[in-house]
Amino acid sequence: MEEFRKKAFEPQLPAHLSRQIETLIHAQHEWFICSAPHARNDPSQTFSLKQDFWAKYSDVTVPLELTTNHKDGAIFKQMQAPLGVLLSWMEQATGESSQRLYLAQCQLTDLPQSLRDHVPTPEIVQKAGKGDVYDANLWMGLAPTYTPLHRDPNPNLFLQLAGRKVVRLFPPDVGATIFAGVQEKLGQNASSTFRGEEMMQGPEKDLLEREVWEHKGNGLDGHEAVLDHGEALFIPLGWWHSIKGVGKGVTASVNWWFR
């Protein structure tokens, strides 16, 4: 705890925590089936849902994102729907599916207590700072998944439950430069609102993704973290980041915004 506080939390620097947090044990074992449970850092490892477990929660209303890919681009829509809609899609979807569903920023407080009990708040979140948890969320879908470049209003502990995600990180001034450059190219001056529809479809999405993932900030100071299941990333206040779920199978994460 003291090492994390001194090296990451207080100086507000990112930290990759490699399987040092035990809070994931229940969720990992109760929620998912792993193709190679004893392997570590194996890119071929895949996860699937324990359907019997999740079937009990099919009627729970959750926030879903639907992306429909067309030859002329993607159409993005946010909705509230029963969790069973996502579960059915994840069971039947193939890699060639033109439609993608993603459970995004689902507040843990909106989920049944029996699910919340499987992802208790980590000690780092409770004790590194004031112990003030601003929000906690679940993210789940089939790889590939995508979260555009943005910044959070509070420090963020991001834990990977299943599958693998890659995170590109930029310091506050660097991320602001990248975002402003994209806005200038588009001839607009939008805010960096998290996961707005304009960031998930159309020219803004394409330009942001290209700058972050292809050009890697054009040589500007940035970092990359690869998170396998059981690993966590501390994202400091104001640090810009974009996240991709990679590989195959289920990818799931939980995060806490805290102070």
pLDDT of residue 58: 98
| Per-residue model confidence as pLDDT tens digits over 117-147 | 999 999 999 999 999 999 999 999 999 999 9
pTM exceeding the 0.75 threshold for the entire prediction: yes
Judge contact between 155 and 238, C-beta under 8 A.
Answer: no
Examine residue 184 and state whether it is found in any structural domain, yes or no: yes
The domain tally of the chain equals: 1
Report if residue 40 sits inside a domain: no
| Percent of the chain topping pLDDT 90 | 70
**Would 212 be classed as within a structural domain?**
yes
Mean pLDDT lowest among 9-23, 66-80, 107-121 = 9-23
CATH number where 144 lies = 2.60.120.650
pLDDT tens for 41-74 read 677 789 999 999 999 999 999 999 999 988 777 7
Asked, for residue 235, whether it belongs to a domain, the answer is yes
Domain housing 94: 2-33+45-258
The answer to whether position 38 is within a domain reads no
Are 233 and 227 contacting, i.e. CB atoms less than 8 angstroms apart?
Answer: yes
Listed range (36-40, 105-109, 136-140, 147-151) with the worst mean pLDDT: 36-40
Query: Domain for residue 210, yes or no?
Result: yes
Residue 19 within a domain:
yes
- Please say whether the beta carbons of 58 and 50 come within 8 A: no
CB 109 within 8 A of CB 121: no
What is the chain's mean pLDDT, rounded?
89
pLDDT reported for residue 69? 83
Pick from 2-16, 35-49, 73-87, 237-251: least confident? 35-49
Average pLDDT over residues 163-185: 93
Q: Is the pLDDT of residue 82 over 70?
A: yes
